[in-house]
């Protein structure tokens, strides 16, 4: 295993980046934070240099152990497999592992893509309407949270799947933040709300929060 300090290319408010930041904290991995602004000058994700790092022009990307890894969920699984001694994020039990991945996947493929910056910009452009854009986001986030909530009814303990922090929790916290940002009424989702509140108390989750990063704008910054 190479000893160079890992580099995380990310953006403070990117929910996919945030998942990986939580994993790095839980795994006690010291890393270099390379901010890639998704808004500055039309978006640094589109620069030639960053496109060489991630041809899909998205954050996060993680340089670690001599490898460049893309896609938050495979990155988290890699960290879990290579650092199994700290906070195991995929449960040993096959059923619990499947349920944790199920929740993570609903958020990863069924919610985040619909609120992704380039997608919502296109919706606003095609419809010529900010209201239609907000309706679009609200529709998909509400649909996703309905599904997550019904699974949590069966799986949750202190956290999404029992009392162990799993990959599902790493996805839930940034997604709840996004939902609140887009004015989704979370009172419809009491389990997701309660689990999120529990997770938000954990020091590693606090450290990884969008409002505590080096590229967090001053007006949002919490110390
Ligand atoms: N499935 C990818 C999603 C990555 C992604 O969509 N990242 C967003 C921020 S959360 C992004 O970089 N968006 C740039 C854009 O929309 O232009 C992952 O989990 O890493």
The two structure tokens encoding residue 126: 């095609």
Structural domains in the chain, CATH included, are 7-87 (3.40.30.10), 94-205 (1.20.1050.10)
Task: Assess whether the C-beta atom of 47 lies below 6 angstroms from ligand 1.
Answer: no
58 lines ligand 1 (CB under 6 A): yes
- The three-class DSSP label of residue 28 is coil
Summarised one tens digit per residue, pLDDT across range 158-190 is 999 999 999 999 999 999 999 999 999 999 999
Nearest CA owner, ligand 1 atom 9: 14
The pLDDT of residue 223:
82
- Is the CB–ligand 1 distance for residue 43 below 6 Å? yes
Mean pLDDT on 96-110: 98
Three-state secondary structure call for residue 212: helix
- Report, as an integer, the average pLDDT of 189-202: 98
- pLDDT by residue (tens digit) across 13-61? 999 999 999 999 999 999 999 999 999 999 999 999 999 999 999 999 9
Nearest atom within ligand 1 for CA of residue 60: 20
The two three-digit tokens of residue 83, written as one number? 């650092």
**Sheet harboring 7-10: ordered strands across?**
32-35, 7-10, 61-64, 67-70
Predicted confidence band at 142 (pLDDT cuts at 50, 70, 90)? Answer: very high
Check whether 75 has a pLDDT greater than 90. yes
Query: CB of 77 closer than 6 A to ligand 1?
Result: no
Residues 63-81 as b/e (b if ≥16 CB within 10 A, e otherwise) read bbeeeebbbbbebbbbbbe
In short, whether 155's Cβ falls inside 6 Å of ligand 1 is no
Looking at the CA of residue 46, tell me the nearest atom of ligand 1.
17
> Residue 71: is its pLDDT beyond 80?
yes
Helix (H) / strand (E) element for 105: namely helix 94-110
Which band of pLDDT confidence, cut at 50, 70 and 90, is reported for residue 3?
A: low
């Amino acid at each position: 295993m190479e000893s160079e300090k890992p580099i995380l290319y990310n953006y403070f408010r990117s929910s996919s980046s945030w998942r990986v930041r939580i994993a790095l904290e839980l795994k006690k991995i010291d890393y270099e934070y390379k901010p890639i602004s998704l808004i500055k000058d039309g978006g640094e994700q589109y620069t030639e240099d960053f496109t060489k790092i991630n041809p899909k022009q998205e954050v996060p990307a993680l340089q670690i152990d001599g490898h460049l890894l893309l896609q938050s969920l495979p990155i988290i699984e890699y960290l879990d497999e290579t650092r199994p001694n700290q906070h195991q994020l995929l449960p040993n039990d096959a059923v619990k592992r499947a349920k944790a991945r199920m929740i993570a996947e609903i958020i990863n493929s069924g919610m985040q893509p619909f609120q992704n910056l380039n997608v919502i910009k296109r919706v606003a452009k095609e419809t010529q309407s900010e209201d239609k854009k907000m309706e679009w986001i609200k529709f998909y986030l509400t649909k996703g949270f309905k599904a997550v909530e019904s699974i949590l009814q069966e799986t949750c303990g202190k956290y999404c799947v029992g009392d162990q922090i799993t990959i599902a929790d790493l996805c839930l916290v940034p997604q709840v933040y996004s939902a609140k940002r887009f004015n989704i009424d979370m009172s419809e989702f009491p389990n997701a709300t309660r689990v999120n509140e529990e997770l938000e108390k954990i020091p590693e989750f606090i450290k990884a929060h969008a409002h505590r990063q080096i590229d967090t704008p001053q007006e949002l910054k919490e110390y």
